[in-house]
């Protein structure tokens, strides 16, 4: 099937017969339109699965699917994609280092990391100039297409989404600000960090959206997160949860 570009325009496709890498020639992004997604994943089968899942999602358009940092650096020029999904472990480099380089070249680029290991703490070591708006999903725990698609959509608007299955395995560290939250506030924070909207959190917990917002505001107050327009408070809250939590034994 030949992919169709925005507003029905055909786009050119090339596929490397040896690696199965897909490269689309994207149109200049209009003010509105599908989120353009690039995949950097070295395992051909997993890359194909990701490509098919995201290409079939409403509002997403896969513009490239490659397997190395070399190919990614060559293709992902500024403006080529809105979100890049990166495997952390690549055969010719490190996915996190690649993400830092790409983000510095395109500051509004959304980044979603994938890993076969529980390595969410790596987000805490990112350089400050590119630290916000990275997502993380585990290949081994994330089996839901809904979670993957939601994480890509969140990355497109600069939000941080952490793997919900991994978050379910952590607890607040004693003496931390996160440990001062009520059970309900902590539950709301964990769902917020998993990428759910206030409406989604309310549906999950069986409470009103207004109640969710009240819990969110109380959580921000306890964590000392202000409404600085230069920083997304949901991103700051997700990173604080990551920083002040540890494995539940």
Average pLDDT for the chain? 84
Q: Read off the pLDDT of residues 216-235 as tens digits, 9 standing for 90 and up.
A: 999 999 999 986 656 788 88
Distance CA 150, CA 131 (A): 20
When pLDDT is cut at 50, 70 and 90, the band that residue 51 belongs to is very high
Residue in the structure block whose two tokens are 């997993």: 46
Please state the rounded mean pLDDT for residues 193-217: 95
When pLDDT is cut at 50, 70 and 90, the band that residue 60 belongs to is very high
| pLDDT at 50 (0 to 100) | 93
| pLDDT at 8 (0 to 100) | 29
Q: Read off the pLDDT of residues 85-100 as tens digits, 9 standing for 90 and up.
A: 999 999 999 999 999 9
Residue 1's CB is within 10 A of a number of other CB atoms, namely 5
Q: Flag whether pLDDT at 149 surpasses 90.
A: yes
Helix (H) or strand (E) holding 246: strand 245-247
What are the C-alpha distances in Å from 107 to residues 82, 133, 138, 147?
10, 10, 24, 24
When pLDDT is cut at 50, 70 and 90, the band that residue 165 belongs to is confident
Please state the rounded mean pLDDT for residues 13-40: 60
Across the chain, the runs of DSSP E, i.e. the strands, are: 13-15, 22-24, 35-40, 60-66, 83-87, 89-90, 93-94, 110-115, 134-138, 170-172, 245-247
Residues of the chain with pLDDT > 70, as a percent, come to 84
Please state the rounded mean pLDDT for residues 120-145: 83
């Amino acid at each position: 099937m030949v992919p169709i570009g925005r507003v029905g325009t055909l786009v050119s496709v090339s596929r490397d017969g040896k690696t199965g890498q897909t490269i689309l020639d994207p149109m200049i992004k209009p003010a509105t339109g599908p989120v353009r997604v690039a995949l950097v994943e070295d395992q051909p089968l997993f890359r194909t699965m990701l490509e098919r899942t995201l290409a079939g999602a409403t509002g997403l358009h896969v513009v490239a699917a490659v397997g190395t940092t070399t190919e990614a650096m060559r293709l992902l020029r500024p403006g080529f994609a809105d979100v890049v999904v990166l495997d952390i472990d690549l055969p010719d480099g490190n996915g996190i280092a690649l993400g830092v380089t790409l983000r510095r070249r395109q500051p509004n680029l959304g980044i979603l990391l994938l890993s076969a290991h529980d390595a969410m703490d790596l987000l805490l070591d990112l350089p400050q100039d590119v630290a916000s708006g990275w997502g993380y999903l585990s290949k081994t725990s994330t089996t839901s297409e809904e979670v993957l698609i939601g994480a890509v959509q969140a990355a497109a608007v600069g939000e941080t989404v952490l793997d919900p299955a991994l978050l379910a395995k952590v607890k607040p560290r004693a003496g931390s600000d996160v440990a001062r939250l009520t059970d309900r506030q902590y539950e709301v924070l964990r769902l917020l960090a998993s990428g759910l909207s206030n409406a989604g959190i309310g549906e999950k917990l069986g409470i009103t959206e207004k109640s969710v917002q009240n819990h969110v505001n109380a959580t921000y107050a306890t964590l000392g997160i202000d409404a600085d327009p230069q920083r997304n408070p949901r991103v700051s809250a997700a990173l604080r949860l990551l920083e002040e939590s540890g494995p539940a034994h």
